[in-house]
Amino acid sequence: MNDKTANQHPQVRWWLRLLVLAAVAAVSFLAITAVQVVRTASLEEIHPADAIVVFGAAEYSGHPSPVLRARLDHALDVFHRGVAPVVITTGGAAADPTFSEGGVGRDYLMRHGVPERSLIAETQGRDTSESAVRVAVIMRANGLHSCVAVSDAYHVFRIRKLLEYEGIGPVYVAPRPDSLPHSVWQRAVAVLREATSYLLWRMGIT
């Protein structure tokens, strides 16, 4: 073994140790986050707030998908309880630029009795993190500080963290009913997806 090879071995071992430590840290973070995702999914925090924020889902040619409609119906129920005077709907356009998730959500709620003056649509966000940033801008511009976030059960943990990071608070969560996946496998995949998305956001990748 020559001197060059001998010098390389400690460097290789150092990099291997570093990779192992990084992997262990990532797995530990995902495990802890997964527990928090599941715990937050069980909450229903119907507290007085400045706004109700409904996070978008797919829309089809101006009509909410079943998932979006279920979120909007839950937000409608929360609004009628007098929890907040304003509802903010979120989500940009997808394949069809004519409609946005936020705009479709606003129109749906208006048709179901929410006054136009009580509705604000965020229509540019391409994903959850972008919508959270834009919602925070909207809330600050309108003197709003606290909110009740409405989405699917495993989604609300990440939403809360994103909004809190933008200075909104307190952030309460109100997952739509029956939004947990039915099978154990589907639940595991959904929790892992949310935990991974949160990790990537914390790392500045998304």
Which pair of structure tokens corresponds to residue 45?
A: 């925090």
Considering its fold, how many domains does the chain have in total? Answer: 1
Would you say 172 and 149 are in contact if contact means Cβ atoms under 8 Å apart?
Answer: yes
| 3-state SS assignment for residue 2 | coil
Interatomic CA distance for residues 133 and 161, integer angstroms: 12
CATH code, domain carrying 80: 3.40.50.620
Give, for all 206 residues of the chain, the pLDDT tens digit: 455 554 556 676 777 777 877 777 888 889 999 999 999 999 999 999 999 999 999 999 999 999 999 999 999 999 999 999 999 999 999 777 889 999 999 999 999 999 999 999 999 999 999 999 999 999 999 999 999 999 999 999 999 999 999 999 999 999 999 999 989 999 999 999 999 999 999 988 86
Task: Identify whether 139 is part of a domain.
Answer: yes
Q: In the beta sheet, which residues pair with residue 173?
A: 149
Q: Hey, CA dihedral for 31, 33, 38, 39, is it positive or negative?
A: positive
Quote the domain boundaries for residue 96: 44-181
Backbone angles phi, psi at 128, to 5 degrees: -60, -45
Task: Identify whether 21 is part of a domain.
Answer: no
List all residues 6 or more positions away from 116 whose beta carbon is below 8 Å from its beta carbon.
110
Task: Identify whether 2 is part of a domain.
Answer: no
Residues comprising the chain, all counted: 206
pTM: 0.88
Interatomic CA distance for residues 105 and 58, integer angstroms: 10
| 3-state SS assignment for residue 88 | strand
Task: Identify whether 32 is part of a domain.
Answer: no
Interatomic CA distance for residues 62 and 196, integer angstroms: 31
Task: Provide the H-helix boundaries in the chain.
Answer: 3-41, 66-80, 101-111, 128-141, 156-165, 184-202
Task: Identify whether 188 is part of a domain.
Answer: no
Torsion-angle region of 62 (φ positive above 0: left; ψ -120 to 50: alpha; else: beta) = left
